[in-house]
Amino acid sequence: MNILRKKSAANLPFSETAIELFIRLCGISSIIFVFGIFFFVFREGAGFLFNGLDLGQFLTSVEWQPTSLNNKRYGAFALIVGTFSVTILAMCIAVPFGLGAAIFVSEFCSPKLRETFKIIIELLAAIPSVVWGFIGLTLMNQLIIAVFNAPIGLTMLNGSIMLALMSVPIIVSIAEDALKAVPDSYREAAEALGATRWQVVYRVLLPAAKNGLLAAVLLGAARSIGETMAVLMATGHSVNIPSGPLSWIRTLTATIAAELGEVARGDEHYQVLFIIGILLFTITFVVNLIADLVIKGIRQDS
Amino acid sequence: MKTNSQNGSQMTPIIEVTDLRVHYGDKLALKGVSFDVYQNEILGIIGPAQSGKTTLLKVINRTLEFTPDATIEGSVKLDGEDISTISDVYGLRRRIGMVQPLPVGLPLSIYDNVAFAPRTAGIRSKSELDVIVERCLQQAALWEEVKERLNTLGTQLSGGQQQRLTIARALSHQPEILCLDEFSIAVDPVTTMRIEEVLKTLRTEMTILLVTNLVQQAKRLANRTAFFLNGDLIEIDTTDIIFSENPAEQATYDYVNGTFG
């Protein structure tokens, strides 16, 4: 077999071999990039991670004082809580809206309206995150102050709404694809049994498309966890364990973005920021792993 | 065209179709057909592909409305009531059981498949549903094979079992009319014969519209047979006459005897 292949490869014109090599490189490169990123992030943070950093303090302390002269503290607990709380609240907003919009677009609206909607939703996905941050900083800030009578509008709620607006397009487009992938014969069969359109949706389509819908939600969540600029601008960027939606918070990503430019390369603070990077890497890895396992579990069920 | 009925079926029409025309966009799929269906008969509907048989069934349970560019003219009366004026279209669809050519096991358990229509109609009580599920699966000759595993997915059954499941499901809302659209396409001959036995017993309880690609199936089961060709109703008469040496139309004779189609 091997000999045969070699022989045929030798007979191939040079351009064919070159293209094959190029495509192979493209395929391998994605793996190389992921490992490369992990390697360099890890290398920058590893020195302090294994030698000097109190990992217990890093994960449980709320004191983040990297620039203090005589009392340096690297406690990332508040940042972790900040990232998770803003993401969870964002998902609480984005999932019902996103799935609802996907159901509407795929099942209830006319074909003409559907095209318009899809264009608008794609437009929404194309807005840069700094623009969302700007909207949060100005418009949503005023709105939250006015509605909740809060002293300041740059809060977890503000950041969550921005993140929700950014994840909704992803959730809608993937969830809509998942619903469209359900064969029409299911709809027809259910309708012939006298089901109303809403009954068709929640008794047949949602169970049939649950895999894709879950993927939509998890990808939306992944977008929220990784988002930096909008949360940096909209959440108040203040180290704090939130007591409610109107508390200000700081996230892991925003911390790296805000502080990395001001540290000396190679010192402790610099390395801690990379350790936060490793932590983010781990979190997204775990989320993706859970998503894979859940989806695999569902596949085996059906 | 004159129709007559024998074989002991009653003369009350349950469905009256008058000058029914259906367009898909510019294409005429049914070209003005008129006929009656009598209570408790099996009406066989035969004809080659593209002759409007499936369209006819979709008109009767008003699922053609989901096809965006389909327009319907003429009238279809169910128990004397024009179906286009019935406001409770979901209720109408529950009066008509529909079995599709390829079995569509909804992605639900066997139990939930059969309980689907009763639940949409608002039946919640578990004991009531249990009774319905058992009755329908018995009627569809499937109960003995699945009674131990009602909670497994319907899609895991074999093709023939799935088709009987769809029949059980179509019976679950106690329809007055059962429409079968080429049910034996995906079913082996033995299962086909079992389902045919089921249909013979169901005749006493309901009216059956049997669209079939197997001419002999109509001969075996139907009291009367209608022959459709290219959207026209060529002939409708008792099965004996349609399958005799001298039906009214030459095309009927040719089709039934396999000269074309």
- pLDDT tens digits, one per residue of A105-141: 998 888 889 999 999 998 998 999 999 999 999 999 9
Mean per-residue pLDDT, A41-63: 88
pLDDT for res B3: 46
ipTM for the predicted complex comes to 0.76
pLDDT for res B2: 41
- Whether residue A7 is contained in a domain is answered as no
Rg (CA), chain A: 24
Average pLDDT in chain A: 88
pLDDT for res A2: 53
The DSSP 8-state label assigned to residue B246 in this structure reads: -
CATH number of the domain enclosing A217: 1.10.3720.10
In sequence order, the 6+-apart residues with CB closer than 8 A to the CB of A269 are A66, A67, A259, A263
- Reported as half-sphere exposure (CB side, CA atoms, 13 A), residue A84 has a value of 9
| pLDDT tops 70 at residue A6 | no
- Cα separation, B187 vs B162, in Å, equals 9
Q: What residues in A contact B66, CB-CB < 8 Å?
A: 187-188, 191
| pLDDT tops 70 at residue A27 | yes
Mean per-residue pLDDT, A37-56: 88
- Report the residue from A187, A188, A199 with minimal CB separation from B120: A199
User: Amino acid identity, residue B197?
Assistant: E
Q: What angle (nearest 5°) sits at the alpha carbon of residue B235, between those of residues B177 and B252?
A: 115
Tell me which range, A57-71, A129-143, A186-200, is most confidently predicted by mean pLDDT: A129-143
- Whether residue A208 is contained in a domain is answered as yes
In terms of residue numbers, what domain contains A293?
A: 78-301
- Cα separation, A178 vs A215, in Å, equals 9
- Whether residue A41 is contained in a domain is answered as no
Q: What residues in B contact A213, CB-CB < 8 Å?
A: none
Tell me which range, A166-175, A182-191, A205-214, B156-165, is most confidently predicted by mean pLDDT: A166-175
Residue of A nearest to B117 (CA): A193
Could you give phi then psi for residue A179, rounded to 5 degrees?
A: -70, -40
- Cα separation, B240 vs B111, in Å, equals 40
Q: Are B17 and B36 in contact (CB under 8 A)?
A: yes
Partner-chain contact B100 A189, CB within 8 Å? yes
Q: Tell me the pLDDT tens digit for each residue of B39-84.
A: 889 999 998 888 888 899 989 988 888 787 888 888 899 988 888 8
Separation in Å, CA B28 to CA A57, B24, B70, B122, B217: 78, 6, 10, 39, 28
| pLDDT tops 50 at residue B6 | no
- Whether residue A62 is contained in a domain is answered as no
pLDDT for res A19: 93
- Cα separation, A70 vs B116, in Å, equals 70
Q: pLDDT-derived band of residue B1, with 50, 70 and 90 as boundaries?
A: very low
- Whether residue A17 is contained in a domain is answered as no
Rg (CA), chain B: 18
- Whether residue A51 is contained in a domain is answered as no
Query: What structural domains and CATH numbers belong to chain B?
Result: 1-95+175-184+205-261 (3.40.50.300), 98-172 (no CATH)
Average pLDDT in chain B: 86
- Whether residue A155 is contained in a domain is answered as yes
Partner-chain contact A196 B66, CB within 8 Å? no
| pLDDT tops 80 at residue B37 | yes
- Reported as half-sphere exposure (CB side, CA atoms, 13 A), residue A150 has a value of 20
Domain count across chain A:
1
Packing angle of the helix pair A14-50, A268-301 (nearest 10 deg):
120
In sequence order, what are the beta bridge partners of B73? Answer: B21
